[in-house]
Structure 1
Amino acid sequence: MPRTHSPTTDTGSSGSLRVSSIVAVLTLAGITIAFVQSMVFPIVPLLPGYLDASSADTAWVITATLLCGAVTTPVSGRLGDMYGKRRILLFGMAVIVVGTVISALSHSLAPLLVGRTLQGLGNGVIPLAISIMREVLPTEKLPTATALMYGSLGVGGSLGLPVAAFIADNFDWHVLFWTAATLGAVVAVLVALLVPESKVRTGGRFDLAGAAGLAVGLVCLLLAVSKGEDWGWGSGISVALFAGAATVLPLWSWLQLRSPHPMVDLRANARPEVLFTHLTGLALGFAVFVTGLVLPQLLQMPEETDYGLGKSLAVTGLLMAPQGLTMMAVAPLSARLTHAKGPKATLVTGSVITGTGYLLATVLMSEVWQILVTSCIVAVGVGFALGTLPALVMGVVPVSQTGATVSLNTLMRSIGTSVSSAVAGVILAHMTIESGNGPVPSQNGLRAVLAIGAGAAAIALVFASFIPRQQPAADSAETPVLPVLGRPTADAE
């Protein structure tokens, strides 16, 4: 176990207020990042008309953000550990605001792609925020805060759909980006004013070659996975990208193991407590994406299909909003279970609930209320499960490695999401029926994807069962005691 810090307490009302302010600001940052990333989904079908470009080209508006986010997440975590997590978080927020302003000024595809690529830096904000929480919050408040942080992602994503649909229907589409830029700027100012800088720093030099190798390997892998269906899985470019990933990533790993200052400490991440948490995150990332892909399609599908519910985009966004609010609402329950039984028990519970929700969704899909119930059940499971992942890794790594380790866990979930998108896309593209608007996914196709989501939750449960059990925070002397409100501490290493 990493060395622990000496316990520190601050029971005054001013201390409690400051802790609450920090949690509120960082949670708002999470909501903002999720909103920025999801707000373009409703207008993607309209972008070819807006930008005078093909639908194949405008699809890069999503892909560019995905690739940038995957590459920069582990890099930002490492930089935060080295130079200060608040500093890197503020830099990330500033770049997101710049990217959003560029998008707001765009009238053609190229500048919009530049702006969306810069927005991809937002993926690194979440693990940095959680890492800051570890340093500045009292131990007993950390499970609730991390659960709220992940709940904020659901809220931001749920808000993105109806808000974007409303703006697209009533205003110029650029207003959507100006709204997001304003929100991002407000968050950056609040972080600068209210969030303290981390005091624990790791030593060494930044591994530029390691960062470049990881970037090349991830781009090859994720580009092949996300575009394989469009390009053809057996096409030359897809095969070349998969071959590149299969060559670069093992070579990168070999070099990282021999580097005195690696970009990613693979030995630390290979410990069972961390490795199986990462694998669980990979499976959960796969499962989580399913609900956001299938249920909105089911709600918007034409009624003539006999299973579609024929709702508008705006109504669909409103109907999916309770899912994100549910994720936020269960955060205190998740924290309570973590305090009582430990984070592993909460993760197992969340995986079971998520899988159960998906299984119910395969049969309860004929009425709006059924969609609401099953989506909220899945949200309860996701809220329980995702919020415990950082708690599990933070329980066994030094404070000075928190940013890099939590960022790697976030990356694993992003990879799971990308694979989930590719698998679901293949299934829904091949299991179709004809409608008045052309081919649409069949009911059996939608059920198949939901069943795969349940299977991914079951795999997450299996991986979670291999995580060595940690004692509940209230009972274990082995649990690291965290510093309060950013007070200086010795390096945990």
Structure 2
Amino acid sequence: MSHTVVSPARIGRSSLGALGVLALALGALQTVVEPALPLLQRELGVSPAEGALVGNALLITGAVLTPVAGKLGDRYGGKRVLMWLMAAVSAGGLLAGFAPNLPVLLLGQILQGAMVGALPLSFILVRKHLTTGASQAAIGVVVALFTGGGMVGTAIAGPIAEALSWHGMFVVPTVVIIAATVVVARLMPHDPPIDAEGGIDWPGAVLLSGALLALMIGLVTVTSGGLSPLAIGAIAVLAAALATGWVAVERKAVSPMVDLRMLAKPVMRNSWVLTLVITVSSGMVVFLLPQLFAVDANGYGFAASTTTIGLFLLPGALAGAFSDSVGGIAARRFGPRAVVIVGAVVTAATMLGLAALHTAAWQLVLAKMLTAVAAGVATTALLASTATAVEAEDTGIATSLLVVTRVIGVALGAQIGGAILAAGGDALTDQPAESAFVLGFAVSGLVAASALLVVRSTKKGIKA
């Protein structure tokens, strides 16, 4: 295996600045959908369950690409692969920006999901071209700007949609992405590929993406009533077959995208189950709150515009960013078990309380903040503790499994929330009934509370 040493001096502030702007724009493009989902559902004439697919399509692509992005960067060069991914993201953003209907918008979102792989590739570039200390600082800046971009996207979605139309929400960040990509291509030095060990698990990637898409589509069709029970059963069988095939491929692959053998270790298995439970509950919150903000104020809604919804969600985004930064510290000081218990109790109590009382906007804003902090601290604590509990050579495998689980959990939770609202729709108003929101909040709270049962039954595996 040969390595070419590149002088740290070859990468300057302009290159890092371009990477930072790119991360900021990517974060914005990823989050413009969250406050605008009710608007998109009205404009496209789709149900909440179908609307949930818009955000989940991006997450599914991200879940599949994240484990392989680093391998692709090592094999072909980080800069080259980053340019490939940005081409896909740019095409997806423009496709979504001019989408005439839901299928085209979903295709655009699927392509945009390639953005999730941009972060590990950015890390590869700064590691290869900077000293250790400088690369750590640069990575922190890129992550912070990506997170900050998410807040920007939440805030600008409404004003852009009102000024230009919902198509502009995708076009404006995409134009910035294209410009930043051009600058990165010109200023960032090429990094030489290395002889990466093992191949790329393309069969595993295809099977996982197919299984997730079939699962999401199945949740939509169950609540839409547009298909016969036989057709719904066929989709369920397809999803199960694809998932089974993925497990079989991962167990036999020389270089699997997700090494499922890690789940044989108690600390890994327990962290995986808890991460999935926490993020499913969190995903339901992420989907349900904007929907309730947008419902006409006929006794239980707020008739909020996309701009207002974005402002209501912004404190929660800030709280979530804060929680991600302190999760590891909390795990080290109090132990992951204590952090998970507190997070589960806070989330369960908040959502069950919201099911009973949701008549004022501040109640929803506060609920979003509390659940964002609880979920962020708990999942980050699990990630940090697992990274230090497994063998050093297994760190990458273990953390990638948990990162993928976080993405899948949020997507699954959002789709479940959409299915509940679609099933509880009011035929007269063509909007979800208040009882559907009550049920959704209660289910989210109960899912979070189930983490306490997992902790109790597996407490030996998640000690500090």
Q: TM-score range by the shorter chain?
A: 0.7 to 0.9
Note the aligned Cα RMSD (angstroms).
Answer: 4.5
Alignment gaps of 5+ in structure 2: 1-12
Aligned to 2:114: 121
| 1:340-351 matched pairs, under 5 angstroms | 340-351=333-344
**Residues 303-342 of structure 1: CA distance to partner in whole angstroms, max 9, x if unpaired?**
332x333433322221121110111234444343234234
2:361 partner amino acid? V
Alignment of 1:32-43 (within 5 A): 32=28, 34-35=30-31, 38=34, 41-43=37-39
| 1:204–1:441 distance in 2 versus 1, CA, 3 Å | same
Instruction: Say which SS state the counterpart of residue 254 (structure 2) adopts.
Output: coil
Q: Which amino acid aligns with 1:318?
A: L
Whether the 8 Å contact between 1:359 and 1:451 is mirrored in structure 2 is yes
1:209 is aligned to: 203
* 1:300/1:24 CA distance change after superposition, 3 Å: same
Counterpart secondary structure, 2:432:
strand
* Deviations 1:361-401 (CA, angstroms, capped at 9, x unpaired): 23342222222222211122123123334323432556776
Instruction: Give the corresponding residue for 2:378.
Output: 385
Letter in 2 for 1:316: I
Question: Comparing 399-408 with 191-200, which one deviates more in the overlay?
Answer: 191-200
Matched, 1:311 2:311: no
Q: Does residue 1:44 correspond to 2:63, yes or no?
A: no
Q: Which residue of 1 aligns with 2:90?
A: 97
- Structure number with greater CO (CA < 8 Å, separation at least 6) is 1
The reply on whether 1:354 has 2:332 as its aligned counterpart is no
1:1-400 paired onto structure 2 within 5 Å = 28=24, 31-32=27-28, 34-35=30-31, 38=34, 41-48=37-44, 55=46, 61-62=54-55, 64-76=57-69, 78-80=71-73, 88-89=81-82, 91-106=84-99, 112-125=105-118, 149=143, 156=149, 159-185=152-178, 188=181, 203-230=197-224, 235-305=229-299, 307-396=300-389
How many residue pairs align between the two structures? 445
TM-score (norm 1): 0.72
Residue 283 of structure 1: how far off its partner (Å): 1.1
Would you say the 8 A contact 1:69–1:124 is kept in 2?
yes
What is the aligned partner in structure 2 of residue 14 from structure 1? Answer: none
2:298 counterpart SS class:
helix
| SS state at 1:303 partner | coil
The structure-2 alpha-carbon separation of the partners of 1:363 and 1:163, relative to structure 1 and needing over 3 Å to count, comes to same
The CA distance in 2 between the partners of 1:466 and 1:199, in whole Å, is 43
Q: Which amino acid aligns with 1:451?
A: A
Secondary structure at the residue paired with 1:387?
Answer: helix
Shift of 1:408: 3.3
Give the secondary structure class of the aligned counterpart of 1:311. coil
| CA distance, structure 2, for counterparts of residue 198 and residue 408 of structure 1 | 27
C-alpha separation between the residues in 1 aligned to 2:460 and 2:143? 23
1:248-282 CA distance string (max 9 Å, x none): 32243234323333343221243222222222221
The one-letter amino acid paired with 1:278 is W
Alignment check: 8 A CA contact 2:330 2:381 kept = no
Specify every segment of 5 or more residues in structure 1 that has no aligned partner in the other structure, as ranges: 1-16, 49-53, 472-493
Mark the CA change 1:460 to 1:95 in structure 2 (over 3 Å): closer, same or farther. farther
Question: The residue matched to 1:318 in structure 2 has which SS?
Answer: helix
2:277 touches 2:448 (CA, 8 Å); kept in 1?
Answer: yes
Using the alignment, how far apart are the partners of 2:356 and 2:207 within structure 1?
Answer: 45
- Give yes or no for contact 1:33–1:122 (8 Å, CA) kept in 2: no
Match of residue 441, structure 2, among 410, 433, 450: 450
SS at match of 2:356: coil
Change (3 A) 1:224 1:327: same
Return the structure number with greater helix share: 2
Instruction: Report the counterpart of residue 9 of structure 1 in structure 2.
Output: none
- Provide the C-alpha distance between the structure 2 equivalents of 1:131 and 1:399, rounded to a whole number of angstroms: 19
Cα separation, 1, equivalents of 2:331 and 2:126? 17
Taking structure 2 as the reference length, what is the TM-score of the superposition? 0.76
Identity of aligned residues (%): 26
In the alignment, the residues of structure 2 paired with residue 449 and residue 211 of structure 1 have an alpha-carbon distance, to the nearest angstrom, of 31
